[in-house]
Structure 1
Amino acid sequence: MPHAPYPMPHALGDDALILVSNLSLLLLLLQIPATAILLSRLFKGPTRHPPIQPQQPTPDILGSVSVVVPTLNEALRISPLLTGLSKQSYEVREAIVVDSRSQDGTPELVKAAQQQDPRFRVFTDDPLPLGWVGRPWALHNGFLQSSPESEWFLGMDADTVPHPGLVAGLVQTAKAQGYDLVSLSPQFILKYPGECLLQPALLMTLLYRFDPAGVNTEQPERVMANGQCFLCRRSVLAAVDGYTSASGSFCDDVTLARYIAAQGFKVGFLDGAKVLKVRMYEGAIETWKEWGRSLDLKDASPRAQIWGDLWLLSAVQGLPLIILLSYGLLALLFPQPSLLPLNLLLGLNIFLLVIRFAMLLAIAPSYDRTTAKAGWLFWLSPLADPLAVLRIFLSAFRTPKEWRGRKYS
């Protein structure tokens, strides 16, 4: 009889079956506790504060907000922010742009906006002192330059697009809820295929590690914040000496928010997708390089927490796709008897993947894909989860040497 050109695959031997069974048990021991932690956080979702809505100002917040924007070569991105701030009403006393010696005409754009709206002003911060990162240094200088008559300090990034009614809605919510500091998660603007795939996977690393936006977090070390829209009582910021506690942090927003929470002040992180948009980075490569540097939050977290977060992300975000693909390949190549640990592992990771797609559906309103090329790749972003988790690992063990055009020793 003619021989088959290729040998037929054989069932796994007894030793291999024992190995697969033991490996399945090990993975279950790794994943089950992490899944329980994830579920405990997701179950808080129904109790969260609803998204911030744009509002009309009331007379009691007249001139109560000083906006401070740090800039370094932001000429290509800052115009939507300037336009959006000019549409805020009388609650904004002033809008101060602190420029770190831009070479692209950023200060000139602000001066042009000042001709239309006298609330704008721009000044250059002092040379960067040793031990400070550029962004918190600029914000600290802006705080020192802001009017002591303002009740609130609002830090905003140059890449944000505020809707009319943002500041009034934010201040009124902070007053009604008794927040001393509150920041917002924005709606992200996606444009290119690579970032449609990668950016949601990177964002998911935050959603897995922390409570949903709108949930009051009791532990200061688990507080989340976003410096793109960061409102703080001026008296509180004065009490903690401005941004001094976050001077050397590459995630100064979270570092400062956690420090303020540890002093006993009420800190909140709310959904701002209906009042704030942001175009953070141009394409997947820049997103990987720039955003990935700070997503580990190592400057705001003790080492044990970093390791715990890496375990959690590996277990519930990085491994499910890899395990399911490996199982499919194993089943295809090696017919085998049913193994209880392997079947349990398969069921758990199908469950985790279902959760992942459910969360993707939940965060869809946090993305503006109207002008995106191949925006449908957003729905395939779970395929990039192992890469996103790898990026957090890489960042957790590296100290940034360059940030937004500045080099650090």
Structure 2
Amino acid sequence: MTALANLYLITLTDLSLLLLLLQIPATAILLSRLFKGPTRQRPIQPQQPTPEIFGSVSVVVPTLNEALRISPLLQGLSQQSYEMREAIVVDSRSQDGTADLVKAAQQRDPRFRVFTDDPLPAGWVGRPWALHNGFLQISPGSEWFLGMDADTVPHPGLIAGLVQTAEKEGYDLVSLSPQFILKYPGECWLQPALLMTLLYRFDPAGVNTEQPERVMANGQCFLCRRSVLSAVNGYTSASSSFCDDVTLARYIAAQGFKVGFLDGAKVLKVRMYEGAIETWKEWGRSLDLKDASPRAQIWGDLWLLSAVQGLPLLILLSYGLLVPQPAELPILLLLGLNIFLLAIRFAMLLAIAPSYDRKTAKGGWLFWLSPLADPLAVLRIFLSAFRQPKEWRGRKYSNGA
């Protein structure tokens, strides 16, 4: 019995050493990113437009059966001042009256117009195709192209604040992270864990990233100089990408243009998906960013996520049941490291709390238990990292695009 106990302890100690070798370098990388947080640029604020930016922005919104979600966006865009020259809704033959809602908005605000894009060609995903068509339709007098999604809720002063920041900081492309609207218990628990997979892999919003392959972007609010988008032939470089925003932003950054990703929680809200199941299915399969990343980077990110987000809770739960007393030093070091990582995770939860609107959410308190969903969130990234979507936003694709 003693021999078996000794063998068990040796095995557990060896496993602890292996886990430490896996987790310590990943923890160092994570800390190097989080330490940049205090130096990040402040969140975008709503602004009043100046005469210099009047008529400088064309908004393009891709839609496919968005009648139930698009009204807050249309209302929010109508509240923007005349820095917004026009708002073009590119509708991909919606069957639910989306185009009729835009036409009704046009009666109140002549800056709106809607047109139907051409049939989807081979090699293109629906969203970048619609945005590319919209880009080709914008006024030659506009200096800026602003892509926005139908599920966003822009605050008054969003566009003015965004353009003024871009001009001041010299950005050629800048996108915003929004404030997420949560409504149901399951998404209050799961969605923050999925978001954390992005925060652990990339620099915080507001930190200028020097490496193009580490650039982040969000197509829900995606501002780009018209001249720059013309120089890269619109969305052509992201034609087959299911994360076209990141793919295009990294391509533009690689051409030497300045790309920024900023905190927009004070000027932009979004209601992405209804409930935990839809959040898991739809958002989870685009978070891997495989279309914008080389294979080595994907594997590196999966290692990092496993080490610092997926494993800490599992290690603490399992070792609490399995570790004999007194424990060997490697075991104690492993437990201490994972307690530290879990503490970081809860600190990050406090940091991202302003990025969530939970005022009307049922079970909003589950947000504070989202670290318990971390192993599931990391599993979701693994499941989608090497599998191309066959369906996206109501469209079916063969062999990916």
- 1:91-119 Cα shifts (integer Å, max 9, x gaps): 00000000000000000000000000000
Q: What is the deviation of 1:333?
A: 6.0
Q: What is the deviation of 1:293?
A: 1.1
Matched, 1:161 2:153: yes
Q: Which residue of 2 aligns with 1:407?
A: 396
1:66–1:92: 8 Å Cα contact kept in structure 2?
yes
1:12–1:336: 8 Å Cα contact kept in structure 2?
no
In structure 2, do the counterparts of structure 1 residues 84 and 12 end up closer, same or farther at CA, with 3 Å as the change threshold?
Answer: farther
Distance 1:158 1:347 in 2: 45
In structure 2, do the counterparts of structure 1 residues 114 and 34 end up closer, same or farther at CA, with 3 Å as the change threshold?
Answer: same
TM-score with structure 2 length normalisation? 0.98
Distance 1:333 1:246 in 2: 49
Which of the numbers 375, 383, 392 marks the counterpart of 2:381? 392
Instruction: Give the 3-state SS of the residue equivalent to 1:69 in structure 2.
Output: strand
Unmatched runs of 5 consecutive residues or more in structure 1: 1-10
Q: What is the deviation of 1:338?
A: 2.2
Matched, 1:90 2:82: yes
Distance 1:283 1:338 in 2: 43
Q: What is the deviation of 1:148?
A: 1.1
1:12–1:334: 8 Å Cα contact kept in structure 2?
no
1:295–1:392: 8 Å Cα contact kept in structure 2?
yes
Q: What is the deviation of 1:334?
A: 6.1
Distance 1:327 1:196 in 2: 28
1:12–1:335: 8 Å Cα contact kept in structure 2?
no
- 1:133-161 Cα shifts (integer Å, max 9, x gaps): 00000000000000011000000000000
1:190–1:196: 8 Å Cα contact kept in structure 2?
yes
In structure 2, do the counterparts of structure 1 residues 118 and 12 end up closer, same or farther at CA, with 3 Å as the change threshold?
Answer: farther
Q: How many residues align?
A: 396
- 1:158-214 Cα shifts (integer Å, max 9, x gaps): 000000000000000000000000000000000000000000000000000000000
1:155–1:231: 8 Å Cα contact kept in structure 2?
yes
Instruction: Give the 3-state SS of the residue equivalent to 1:12 in structure 2.
Output: helix
In structure 2, do the counterparts of structure 1 residues 12 and 277 end up closer, same or farther at CA, with 3 Å as the change threshold?
Answer: farther
Q: What is the deviation of 1:327?
A: 1.2
- 4+ residue runs over 6 A deviation: none
Distance 1:56 1:376 in 2: 36
Higher CA-based Rg:
1
Distance 1:183 1:48 in 2: 15
- Percent identity for Structure 1 against Structure 2: 90
Distance 1:232 1:148 in 2: 14
- 1:25-79 Cα shifts (integer Å, max 9, x gaps): 0000000000000000000001100000000000000100000000000000000
TM-score with structure 1 length normalisation? 0.96
1:183–1:230: 8 Å Cα contact kept in structure 2?
yes
Q: What is the deviation of 1:12?
A: 6.8
- 1:247-266 Cα shifts (integer Å, max 9, x gaps): 00000000000000000000
1:131–1:247: 8 Å Cα contact kept in structure 2?
yes
Instruction: Give the 3-state SS of the residue equivalent to 2:319 in structure 1.
Output: helix
Q: CA RMSD in A?
A: 0.9
Distance 2:168 2:4 in 1: 64
Q: What is the deviation of 1:276?
A: 0.1
